[in-house]
Amino acid sequence: MLMPLDMLQAGEWAEVAEVTGQPAWVGRLAELGIRQGCRLQVVQPGSPCLLNVSGCKLCLRGGECSQILVRPVGE
């Protein structure tokens, strides 16, 4: 099941399926480690939200989170 990242609850893990939007923005996220196939955890939902991406904490705004499609996975 695919869903936008901002639908996840605090503490939930997911695998990134697709990052949509402007190429520059997709590229920027890839540099920071958010790309197809990577795993992340929502530390704090909302806007801006807090994500844990391979041991790194990143913060993103809600509108931008909805452009990232994820597949929820169990820990």
Q: By the criterion CB under 8 A, which residues form the site for other proteins? A: 22-33, 35-36, 43-44, 46-48, 50, 54-61, 64
| Dihedral angle, C-alpha 15, 2, 10, 63, nearest 10 ° | 100
DSSP 20: -
Q: Do residues 37 and 15 touch, judged by C-beta distance below 8 A?
A: yes
DSSP 5: G
- Closer to other proteins by CB, 7 or 26: give it: 26
Q: How far is the CB of 71 from other proteins (least distance, A)?
A: 18
- Closer to other proteins by CB, 15 or 44: give it: 44
- Closer to other proteins by CB, 2 or 59: give it: 59
